[in-house]
Structure 1
Amino acid sequence: MVTDRLTDGRRIAQFLASELTGHDDLAGLAVTDPDPDVEPTPDGAFAYAIEHRGEGNHERVATVSVQPNRVRLAFERAVDTVAEAAETEGLRVRPKAVRPPKTLVFVEDGAQVKWLLPALETVSRELSEPTG
């Protein structure tokens, strides 16, 4: 039985970044503006952004902030579908009442990074669909 859990916010953020860059279903998403020296703070320190890169179009999807024992993602795009997908996987989700609205998703251990993948796939798919 495995008793070790990855609960260090900085390490969780690093694991999430490696999943973003190495997961085929997330090819449209990229880590941008990384701060390799980020130190966790109780309010959350900016670690990096997640951007969707389509045909000649780059748009910020979320920001990743590091707290001592978790990561907080503030989704700026596809906020409703992200919230639904993350809640379905058992992640803690909270709407943020700002304009435009955001969805906060909390990842509290390394295993939950895998739980976040369906939400990331959802936003990538939604932003890749042609509008019209």
Structure 2
Amino acid sequence: MVADRITDGTRIAELLASEVTGHERAPYDRTSVVDAAPDVEPTADGARAYDVAHDGTVVARVFVQPERIRVAVFSGLDAADAAAEDAGLRARPVASDPARLVVFVASGAATKRALDVLGAAVAARED
């Protein structure tokens, strides 16, 4: 059992990146981390850490805050929203151009649930 809960935004972003790149089964087999900023420093508003692409198209962008990450999902918004709700992750839609769903990930353990949200988004994109 892990005694410490990971709540460092930079470390949470690293863990999510590992989850995205560490799977070989669909839909993650064609999903990758792109345009990473390896020396990103967390900010209160969130500094862009990297994008998540599926088949070369950016489907999400990850921002690092001091104690969490914020994932802006651009694809499969309804499916991503349902997956976030099922996973118990706080999410809110943003009516902008492009529309997006912002998902908040506040612990290292929640990265697996955030991966499910990304998986739902890319699976919906393929439909």
Q: TM-score by structure 2 length?
A: 0.92
Q: Which residue of 2 aligns with 1:89?
A: 87
- Match for residue 42 of structure 2 among 40, 46, 49: 40
Equivalent position SS for 1:31: strand
Q: What SS does structure 1 have at the residue aligned with 2:81? A: helix
Pairwise CA distance, 1:115: 1.1
What's the TM-score, normalizing by structure 1? 0.89
Unpaired runs of at least 5, structure 1: none
% of aligned pairs identical? 47
Partner residue, 1:125? 123
**Structure with max Cα Rg:** 1
The amino acid that maps onto 1:4 is D
Q: Which runs of 4+ in 1 moved over 4 A?
A: none
Count how many residue pairs are aligned between Structure 1 and Structure 2.
Answer: 125
Cα offset, 1:100, TM superposition: 2.5
Q: Which residue of 2 aligns with 1:13?
A: 13
Alignment partners' CA distance in 2, 1:100 and 1:45: 19
Q: How does 1:6-85 map to 2 (within 5 A)?
A: 6-25=6-25, 26-53=28-55, 58-85=56-83
d(CA) in 1 for partners of 2:95 and 2:63? Answer: 18
Give structure 2 stretches of 5+ with no counterpart.
none
